[in-house]
A and B are shown apart, each in its own frame.
Chain A
Amino acid sequence: MREFPEWLRIPLADAVDVAMDWVLANLGGLFDWIGSVGLQVLIAVERVLIFVPWFVVVIVVGVAAWRLAGTWKFGVQMGLMLLAVGLLGYWAEAMTTLSVVIVSVAISIGIGIPTGILMAWYNPVKRFITPILDAMQTMPSFVYLIPALMLFGLGRVPATFATLIYAIPPVIRLTDVGIRGVPENTIEAAKAFGANRWNLLFDVQLPLARPSILVGVNQTTMMALAMVVIGSMIGNRGLGMEVLLSINRVDIGKGFEAGLAIVFLAIVIDRITNRFAAVNRETAAPASNDEGSVSQSA
Chain B
Amino acid sequence: MTTGTTAGASRPSETDVAAGRAQPPGGDVAVRVENLWKVFGRNPEKILKSDLRNLPKTELLARTGNVVGLRNVSFEVKSGELFVLMGLSGSGKSTLIRTLIRLIDPTAGTLRVDGEDVLAMEHAELLNFRRNSISMVFQNYGLFPHYTVLQNAAYGLKLRGDDQKEREESARTALKTVGLAGWEDYYPSSLSGGMQQRVGLARALATDPDILLMDEPFSGLDPLIRRELQDEFIDLQDQLGKTIVFVTHDLHEALKLGDRIAIMRDGEIVQVAEPEEILSNPHDDYVRAFTQDASPASVFTATTVMDEPSLLLYRWQGPRVAHTELMHHKSDWAFMVDKKHRYLGICTEDIVGGLIRKNAKAIESDDLIRPEPVSPDVLIEDLYGLVSTESYPVPVVDGEERLLGVIRARKILEALHNPDDEEEDPDA
User: Which A residues contact B (CB, under 8 angstroms)?
Assistant: 185-186, 188-196, 199, 203-204, 207-208, 283-288, 290-291
Contact = CB atoms under 8 A, between A and B. Distances in A.
Contact of A190 (B101, B155, B207): B155
Interface of B: 101, 103, 123, 127-132, 135-136, 138, 140-146, 155-156, 158-160, 186-187, 189-190, 203, 207, 213, 424, 426
B261 to A, nearest CB: 24
A191 B123 CA distance: 12
Contact of B142 (A186, A208, A283, A290): A186
Nearest to B158: A203
B142 A194 contact: no
Contact of A192 (B103, B132, B190): B103
Given A193-B155, A195-B159, A196-B127, A284 B145 contact: yes
A282 to B, nearest CB: 11
Contacts of B186: 291
A207 B140 CA distance: 20
B310 to A, nearest CB: 29
Given A189-B138, A190-B144, 15 more contacts: A185-B142, A186-B144, A188-B138, A189-B143, A192-B142, A193-B131, A193-B136, A193-B207, A194-B132, A194-B156, A196-B127, A284-B145, A288-B190, A288-B424, A290-B190
A287 B203 CA distance: 21
B135 A208 contact: no
Nearest to B157: A193
Contact of A188 (B142, B159, B424): B142
A8 B293 CA distance: 72
10 contacts: A185-B142, A189-B138, A189-B144, A190-B155, A192-B130, A285-B145, A285-B146, A286-B189, A288-B424, A291-B189
Given A189-B136, A189-B138, A193-B156, A207 B146 contact: yes
A187 to B, nearest CB: 9
Nearest to B139: A185
A156 to B, nearest CB: 39
Contacts of A204: 144
Nearest to A186: B142
A189 B142 contact: yes
Nearest to A191: B103
Given A288-B189, A288-B190, A194 B131 contact: yes
A199 B143 CA distance: 15
A287 B188 CA distance: 9
A246 B127 CA distance: 64
B141 to A, nearest CB: 8
B135 to A, nearest CB: 6
Contacts of B144: 186, 189-190, 203-204
A281 to B, nearest CB: 11
Contacts of B424: 288
A192 B136 contact: yes
Contacts of A285: 145-146, 187, 189
Nearest to B145: A285
Give the interface centre of A193, A196, A283, A288 by most chain B CB atoms within 10 Å.
Answer: A193
Contacts of B190: 286, 288, 290-291
Nearest to A210: B146
Contacts of A286: 145, 187, 189-190
Contacts of B128: 194
Nearest to B101: A192
A178 to B, nearest CB: 13
A185 B327 CA distance: 52
Given A194-B128, A194-B131, A286-B190, A199 B159 contact: yes
Contacts of B135: 192-193
Contacts of B141: 185
B205 to A, nearest CB: 12
